[in-house]
Amino acid sequence: MQNLTASTKATSSRPWYREITWPQWKVLIAAWGVWVFDAVDFLAITFVLNDIAKTFSISLEASSLLLFVTYAVRWLGGLVFGSWSDRIGRKIPILLTLTWFTAGAVLTGISWSFASLLVFRLLLGFGMAPGFSLSATMVAESWPEKYRAIGIGILDTGWGIGAIGAAVAYSFVYPEFGWRGMFFIGLIPAVILGLFIIFCVPESEVWKRNRQLKPKTRQAFRDNPAIKLFREHPRRIGYLALLMLVLCFGSWPFQGLFPTYLKGLNFDPKHVTLLTMSSAVGQVLGFFASGFIAERFGRRMGLGLMIGIGVLFVIALVYVVSNTPVAMLFAFLAGFFLVGSSGIWGTILTESLPTSVRATGVGFLYNIGVIGGGLAPYIVLTTIHAINMSVALGIAAFSLVAAIVAFILLCFVKETKGQTINNPSDH
């Protein structure tokens, strides 16, 4: 008995990361890599909206619609890929989405007209849709329950690393190869990651158990995960979709327009890179910390705290960008808290849905939400031009309003801390 007690104490005193097995780490590495390249391929365009506008002789507002076009079709891609994943497993769909959005980025770089660019961004948006949702689902289903939020938080650091990659590319690739060269940098790394997924990443054990326990039926249409999602969980889908719309909208006035705002002030590329890199580093650390914050304070309170603090730093940042040391600090903290708070989104979504429709639901909900993110830059730009508002005030005001609405919606969201997802039955 004494030996058993001693063994239990020794196990409980181990660092959390030593309790994660190598197969579980491989799942996280693969999912993280997909999210990194997803971010690089998408965020590259936020640095070159002005260049695209000049190349194709269009307005900046029109070029900002490329963000919306990419996001507008993601709900469909998330639903299609998620439904497919709930039927055939997680590995093949995530490998296809990596291939799809990498090809979409390359096609962006060779676009010959604004119309072709719109089409290629539509295709990229459809294929990149399941990048986060499938990655979060894989991590949630493989990592231990008590470390699930930490795993998904680490996964989300991939977006911040991708943001750093896009900023570095703008500093080194853009001056030599122009805006088109920005969209070729992920090609070779994506091929390497694809081979790693094929040969090293295991299929989800939770998904395989759910398939074994699922009763055989001929009602193929009714058993389609997408149909089942809306038939059995309409209320849950409704309020989670609204929450995601508001959360994504609230982070994108800062994420989508900050580089454009800096370029509009005639800062040189190195200064733009310095401030955006500061934000990106903050995002990486914020994503990582978000899992620990969610485990400490719960999902709802942790998310609310990070959003509230983050929006204050966004408001302060846009008015001090000329003071480089202070601006770097505020950019870091804005990235850490506001953008980093999205590290909790995946945990809430994966814990709120049953295994049989989890990938479908997360794919749909996350990508319905990002429509709000795609609309945010266009709405902010058109509003500030219509009423002669400064870009700084537009970013600050829209970020604050979205944060207030998010606080209200969080009051109606179920706290999911401690929610098991290993039971394939609905909860």
Q: What's the length of the chain? A: 427
Question: Quick one: which of 144, 135, 138, 181 has its CA closest to 40?
Answer: 181
Q: Please state, in angstroms and rounded to a whole number, the distance separating the CA atoms of residues 90 and 46.
A: 30
Q: Each residue of 320-358: pLDDT tens digit?
A: 988 888 999 999 999 999 999 988 988 888 888 887 778
Q: What is the pTM of this model?
A: 0.73
Angle at 372 between CA 328 and CA 82, to 5 degrees: 110
Contacts of 20 (CB under 8 A, 6+ apart): 28, 143, 144, 147, 151
252: pLDDT strictly greater than 90: no
Query: Percentage of the chain with pLDDT > 70?
Result: 92
Q: Please state, in angstroms and rounded to a whole number, the distance separating the CA atoms of residues 393 and 231.
A: 43
* Residue 362 confidence (pLDDT): 81
| Cα Rg of the chain (Å, integer) | 21
* Residue 222 confidence (pLDDT): 60
Query: Percentage of the chain with pLDDT > 90?
Result: 21
Residue 106 carries which side chain, given as an amino acid letter?
V
228: pLDDT strictly greater than 70: yes
* Residue 6 confidence (pLDDT): 47
421: pLDDT strictly greater than 60: yes
240: pLDDT strictly greater than 50: yes
Residue the block writes with tokens 């609905």: 426
Contacts of 235 (CB under 8 A, 6+ apart): none
Asked whether the beta carbons of 317 and 327 are under 8 A apart, the reply is yes
Residue the block writes with tokens 């309409």: 234
Q: Please state, in angstroms and rounded to a whole number, the distance separating the CA atoms of residues 425 and 427.
A: 7
Asked whether the beta carbons of 396 and 321 are under 8 A apart, the reply is no
Q: Please state, in angstroms and rounded to a whole number, the distance separating the CA atoms of residues 170 and 188.
A: 18
* Residue 312 confidence (pLDDT): 96
120: pLDDT strictly greater than 80: yes
418 dihedral zone (left: phi>0; alpha: psi -120 to 50; beta): left
* Residue 118 confidence (pLDDT): 87
- Paired tokens of 165: 């990659």
* Residue 352 confidence (pLDDT): 85
Q: What is the 3-state secondary structure (H, E, C) of the chain?
A: CHHHHHHHHHHHCCCHHHHCCHHHHHHHHHHHHHHHHHHHHHHHHHHCHHHHHHHCCCCHHHHHHHHHHHHHCHHHHHHHHHHHHHHHCCHHHHHHHHHHHHHHHHHHHCCCCHHHHHHHHHHHHHHHCHHHHHHHHHHHHHCCHHHHHHHHHHHHHHHHHHHHHHHHHHHHCHHHHHHHHCCCCCHHHHHHHHHHHHHHCCCCHHHHHHHHHCCCCCCHHHHCHHHHHHHHCHHHHHHHHHHHHHHHHHHHHHHHHHHHHHHHCCCCHHHHHHHHHHHHHHHHHHHHHHHHHHHHHCHHHHHHHHHHHHHHHHHHHCCCCCCHHHHHHHHHHHHHHHHHHHHHHHHHHHHCCCHHHHHHHHHHHHHHHHHHHHHHHHHHHHHHHHCCCCHHHHHHHHHHHHHHHHHHHHCCCCCCCCCCCCCCCCC
Buried b (16+ CB within 10 A) or exposed e, 341-370: bbbbbbbbbbbbbbbbbbbbbbbbbbbbbb
400: pLDDT strictly greater than 90: yes
Task: Identify the weakest region by mean pLDDT among 97-101, 266-270, 289-293.
Answer: 266-270
What homologous superfamily does CATH list for 22-203+229-410?
A: MFS general substrate transporter like domains (1.20.1250.20)
Q: Please state, in angstroms and rounded to a whole number, the distance separating the CA atoms of residues 83 and 422.
A: 19
Q: How far is CA 381 from CA 257, 339, 352, 369, 377, in A?
A: 9, 20, 35, 20, 6
Contacts of 76 (CB under 8 A, 6+ apart): 126, 129, 367
* Residue 207 confidence (pLDDT): 77
Q: Each residue of 279-328: pLDDT tens digit?
A: 888 988 998 899 899 989 998 999 999 999 999 999 999 889 888 889 99
Q: Look at the alpha carbons of 417, 24, 289, 312 in this order and tell me if their dihedral is positive or negative.
A: negative
Q: Each residue of 11-70: pLDDT tens digit?
A: 456 787 788 889 899 999 999 999 898 888 777 887 888 888 888 888 877 787 787 777
Mean local confidence (pLDDT), 153-168:
84
Q: Each residue of 174-220: pLDDT tens digit?
A: 888 888 888 888 888 899 999 999 999 888 887 787 776 665 554 55
Mean local confidence (pLDDT), 97-115:
88
Residue 86 carries which side chain, given as an amino acid letter?
D
